[in-house]
Amino acid sequence: MKDKKYFIAVKFLFYGILIINLLLIFISVNRSSTAVLILSQFTFILFICIAWVLLKRTFSVFFTNLFVMMDKMMNGEAVPNFDHIDDTYVSQIYHQLNRLYDVLQMQQNSIEQEKSKVQSFVSDISHQLKTPLTNLHLLQEALKQSGISPEEYQDCLEKQRKQLDKIDFLIRALLKTSQLENGLIQIQPREVSISQTILSALEGILVLAEKKEIEVYYDNTTDYTVLHDPKWTSEALFNVMENAVKYTPQNGKLTILLSRTEKYVKISIKDTGIGIPPADLTNIFIRFWRGNTNILEGNGIGLYLCKQIISLQYGYILVNSTVNSGSEFEIYIPL
């Protein structure tokens, strides 16, 4: 770097002239020579002039590089790593500018990621709302037709209610997901009974299970006191259980088992449903992913929300599934 060369030149020139000047002063004092004293002063003035020229070039190159770097930073271009001069203000300025550039790049990347997430979120919402809203429009047109029988009228109203319930559930689920992702809802773990949390989740799926005549088994004689958020953990377990009931045929079975390992309590939720193909197991926790199923229930948020809640409590989920035989979700929560 040119400014480094000029800076080194000035430094060597300074020490050289200083030594020569001191020698000349020493000689002039010992010999009482006016000529030598004048020569020493002349060399000092010469040093000042040369140093001024070199320093002027140094700062000219420095500010030129500084302006180029700032232009690149403002344009979002890559900033080159300049050679640094140790223990100098020039080096510190370059170092701080490079740090500033790195911080700005990180912030820019973070903004781009957030922008991408918002766009994806809006796109997902639009896609999810499109079907129920289309169905509502079709049902509304059907109700406007003349000659519709009372039975058909009531059937259309019932279908409209179901579509509205689906939209309401979707919006509430999206709101919970967004709040969790953005830290607006804090997980508040405390030492409480895990069995009570499981029973709380079970209450939400019993009616649907009874309608489909699905046998639900849970032995609540085993219990552990676990550090967890009972409200949100219950929400996570409910989502898994609800999926199990939805994708289990009539007269199926849902089994919930509670056990513990050395460091975790394990909640096993096993059904006799349609199962999950091996190729889809890695996708089931992706938001809005539903796979190639013909079953209309569900919106692909439940399992995604479940994983978020369990992960925030430093737990994890394992899934074992066989097509046409059923699935087992093993939820591990630290003791």
User: Is residue 303, in this structure, part of any structural domain at all?
Assistant: yes
User: Is residue 262, in this structure, part of any structural domain at all?
Assistant: yes
* Domain around 19: 2-83
Q: What is the pLDDT of residue 227?
A: 94
Domain of residue 162, CATH code = 1.10.287.130
Q: What is the pLDDT of residues 175-202, one digit of tens each?
A: 777 777 666 667 889 999 999 999 999 9
User: Is residue 125, in this structure, part of any structural domain at all?
Assistant: yes
Non-local CB neighbours of 295 within 8 Å, separated by 6+ positions? 246, 247, 274
pLDDT higher than threshold 90 for residue 255: yes
User: Is residue 227, in this structure, part of any structural domain at all?
Assistant: yes
- The answer to whether the CB of 202 falls within 8 A of the CB of 330 is no
Q: Looking at the structure, do residues 72 and 157 belong to the same domain, yes or no?
A: no
Q: Looking at the structure, do residues 20 and 138 belong to the same domain, yes or no?
A: no
Q: Looking at the structure, do residues 217 and 174 belong to the same domain, yes or no?
A: no
* Helices and strands, counts by H and E, the chain: 8, 7
Please give the Cα distance from 286 to 303 (Å, whole number).
8
pLDDT higher than threshold 60 for residue 84: no
Structure tokens at 9: 């030149």
User: Is residue 35, in this structure, part of any structural domain at all?
Assistant: yes
pTM over 0.85? The answer is no
pLDDT higher than threshold 70 for residue 3: no
Mean local confidence (pLDDT), 9-14: 65
User: Into how many domains does the chain fold?
Assistant: 3
Q: Looking at the structure, do residues 32 and 146 belong to the same domain, yes or no?
A: no
User: Is residue 314, in this structure, part of any structural domain at all?
Assistant: yes
User: Is residue 170, in this structure, part of any structural domain at all?
Assistant: yes
Q: What is the pLDDT of residue 59?
A: 72
- Starting at the edge strand found earlier in the chain, the sheet holding 215-218 runs 215-218, 253-260, 264-271, 326-334, 316-322
User: Is residue 271, in this structure, part of any structural domain at all?
Assistant: yes
Q: Looking at the structure, do residues 219 and 176 belong to the same domain, yes or no?
A: no
